[in-house]
Structure 1
Amino acid sequence: MLSALQVLTVVVVGVMVGVEFSVAFVINRILDALPDDSSQLGRAHGGRMLGALMPFWYIGSLVLAAIWAVAAWHHDGTGLVVVAGGLLILSVIMSILLLVPINNRSKTWTPQTRPADWKQQLNRWDRFHYLRVAVIIAAFALLVAALV
């Protein structure tokens, strides 16, 4: 049962890392290459779509890591899982404090209602997102290392 939990946790966190990495280094670069209206509309749609899904994914990943840490408390590698869980907590805090406020604004923008500094706000979101991606990659790496 523990092995199934470990695999499930690694897969869930790994897919989340893949999605967030793709947003940072593929999707947003594609959208940024489009004309302003298309770029902003695409990001707003992505913000609505992923903004609805990611809270469950982040919290679910954290819960799975916590269950793993408790279930394997006296096993080798549990310290790595605990640190990974701490990084996942950090990613949730970063999301709530830094990324969600910008996303909540930007997902409602249209070409007619966006503020004059919309590009600067999205650039700020991108910088915070890069940092969050680094944090969840580190958490993922620690979870994988805990299996070895």
Structure 2
Amino acid sequence: MLNALEVVTTVVTGVMVGVEFSVAFVMNPIFSALPEDSGQLARAHGGRMLGAVMPFWYITSLVLAAVWAVAGWQRPGAGLVVTAGALLIASVLMSVLLLVPINNRSKTWTPENRPEDWKEQMSRWDRFHYIRVAVIIAAFALLVAALA
């Protein structure tokens, strides 16, 4: 049973990391290259779509890691899982405190109502997101290492 939990936790977290990596290094650069207002509209749509799903995904990854840490406390790699869980907590805090406020504003923007500093706000979101991606990649790597 613990083996199944370990695999499910690693897969769920890994897919989340893949989505967030893709947002940072594939989708947003594509959106930035779109003509006229298309990029801003695409980011707003992405903010609405992923903003509805990602909170559950982050919390699910964190809860699974916590359950794994408790259930496997006496097994080798438990410290790696605890550290991964701490990084996932950091990623949730970063999301709530830094990224979600910007996302909540930007997902409602249209070319007619966006603020003058919308590009600066998107750049700030991107910088925070790069850091968050690094944090969740590290958490994922620790979960994988704990399996070995």
Question: How high is the TM-score relative to the length of structure 2?
Answer: 0.99
Which residue does 2:115 correspond to in 1?
Answer: 115
Q: For this pair of structures, how many residues does the alignment match? A: 148
What is the CA deviation profile of residues 49-108 of structure 1, one whole-angstrom value per residue up to 9, with x for unaligned ones? 000000000000000000000000100000000000000000000000000000000000
Which residue does 1:77 correspond to in 2?
Answer: 77
Mark the runs of 5 or more structure 2 residues left unpaired by the alignment: none
Deviates more, 1:73-82 or 1:31-40: 31-40
Letter in 1 for 2:46: G
Counterpart CA distance in 2 for 1:35 and 1:138 is 35
Large movers: runs of 4+ above 4 Å: none
Which residue does 2:10 correspond to in 1?
Answer: 10
Deviation at 1:113, TM superposition (A): 0.1
Counterpart CA distance in 2 for 1:38 and 1:114 is 13
Counterpart CA distance in 2 for 1:114 and 1:83 is 40
Which residue does 1:98 correspond to in 2?
Answer: 98
| 3-state SS of paired residue (1:130) | helix
Letter in 2 for 1:62: L
Letter in 1 for 2:141: A
Deviation at 1:35, TM superposition (A): 1.9
Give me the CA root mean square deviation: 0.4
Mark the runs of 5 or more structure 1 residues left unpaired by the alignment: none
Counterpart CA distance in 2 for 1:111 and 1:37 is 6
Deviates more, 1:116-125 or 1:32-41: 32-41
Deviates more, 1:35-44 or 1:91-100: 35-44
Counterpart CA distance in 2 for 1:82 and 1:22 is 26
Counterpart CA distance in 2 for 1:2 and 1:118 is 46
Counterpart CA distance in 2 for 1:102 and 1:108 is 11
Which residue does 1:138 correspond to in 2?
Answer: 138
Letter in 2 for 1:67: V
Letter in 2 for 1:51: G
| 3-state SS of paired residue (1:115) | coil
Counterpart CA distance in 1 for 2:43 and 2:17 is 19
Letter in 2 for 1:103: N
Letter in 2 for 1:8: V
Counterpart CA distance in 1 for 2:36 and 2:91 is 30
Which residue does 1:38 correspond to in 2?
Answer: 38
